[in-house]
Amino acid sequence: MSAGDEAASRPVLVAGAINTDLVARVEKAPEAGETVTGSSFAIFGGGKGANQAIASARSGAPTAMLGGLGDDDFGRERRADLDAEGIDTASVARRESTPSGVALIVVEEATGQNRISYVPGATRTIAADQARDAVARVQPAVILATLEPPPEALAALFEAGKQRGSVVILNATPEAVGARPFLGQIDMLIVNETEAEDLIDSPVSAANGEDAALALSRLGPKTVAVTLGAAGAAIIHDGETATFPAPRVEVVDTTGAGDAFCGAFAAELARGADPFTAAKVGVAAGSLATTVPGAYPGIPRRGAVQRLLAER
Ligand code: RIB
């Protein structure tokens, strides 16, 4: 099937963080002990899991979210954001004694590159039973998870997903080493260059993206995508490799670009596309995400992604 076909999509279940991003734009990010004066401040919806769920939903897949929010203003705002996208939030727990997740983000004006510190809050309360219930309720064709939920919840999610025949994708972020126990259990792995390096213990760049994907596939998953920033993504699937370069765009803010890749990739798979087509679409979605400030606002809809692909 080509990426342009409008086949009905099966459900995608996304597990991960739902954050509120507090974003300062600065000329140059501060060094340790340094204070810099920023040019602007804004609050956006964020969280890798929520960004990926929005990317999946904007790519046309029926999407459900597994997550946790506090009983606070940020929690209510983020739940409303997801509801407004048509995302099923019935498996997003509301915790009375744990706050919603927050991320402090500094974005450099010239490059759009960011530095992020995040506090997961209620994301760390996602429970194994909550994960099993979500799989039983949503019956996902595709499960997409980050490493933000606790390992016990992820183990239960993956086990339940495999039992019902879902395609299980792990985006090994934010700290890739947490993926090691799951590499034999998942179908597909998505990592950026740094995360790939952490898992294979050797340098990864655009020059060796396909080799890195091959090395990672030897650790378990038969499909591995390595995102390479402006260079696009390298992928291996069933022993065959390919690289999809990113379209040239004017980069304003890279926050959420990797998440846009993951969500669009999962949605394409749920639509029946092969992993190579899904990666090509994911690269275009990730590129478009860098052209707009903020995580949720930057995530493109499928129509915009298809138009960008058609222009190339
Ligand atoms: O991937 C980007 C996200 O990571 C941000 O939205 C922020 O919440 C951080 O966790």
Position 2 pLDDT exceeds 70: no
Regarding pTM above 0.85, the answer is yes
Position 197, amino acid: E
**CA gap 120, 237 in Å, rounded:** 32
Q: Delimit the domains of the chain by residue range.
A: 3-311
- What residues contact residue 239 under an 8 Å CB cut-off, 6+ apart? 217
Is residue 238 part of the annotated active site? The answer reads no
In the chain, the largest separation of any two C-alpha atoms, in whole Å, equals 53
Q: What is the mean pLDDT of the chain?
A: 96
Q: How confident is the model at residue 7 (pLDDT cuts 50, 70, 90)?
A: low
117, 255, 261, 290: residue to mutate for ligand 1 pocket, most atoms within 8 A of CB:
255
Confidence check: pLDDT of 239 > 80: yes
Torsion angle defined by CA atoms of residues 250, 252, 255 and 257, in that order, rounded to the nearest 10 degrees? -10
Predicted pLDDT of residue 65: 98
Q: Residues with Cβ < 8 Å from 257, sequence gap 6 or more?
A: 286, 287, 289, 290, 298
* Alpha helices in the chain, H assignment, sequence order: 48-58, 73-84, 128-138, 151-164, 193-200, 209-217, 257-270, 275-289, 295-298, 302-311
Q: List the residue whose alpha carbon is closest to atom 7 of ligand 1.
A: 47
Which residue type, as a one-letter code, is found at position 213? A
Distance CA 12, CA 20 (A): 23
Nearest CA to ligand 1 atom 6: 46
Q: Which CATH number fits domain 3-311: 3.40.50.720, 3.40.1190.20, 3.40.980.10, 3.40.630.30?
A: 3.40.1190.20
Q: Which of 227, 259, 262, 292, when mutated, tests ligand 1's pocket best, judged by the most ligand atoms within 8 Å of its CB?
A: 259
CB 81 less than 6 A from any atom of ligand 1? no
Is 46:21 a contact under the CB 8 Å cutoff? yes
Spot the catalytic one: 129, 238, 259, 274: 259
- Asked if pLDDT for residue 72 goes beyond 80, the answer is yes
Calculate what percentage of the chain has a pLDDT beyond 70. 98
Asked whether 260 lines ligand 1 (CB < 6 A), one says no
Over the stretch 94-110, which tens digit does the pLDDT of each residue have?
999 999 999 999 999 98
Q: Give residue-wise pLDDT tens across range 132-176.
A: 999 999 999 999 999 999 999 999 999 999 999 999 999 999 999
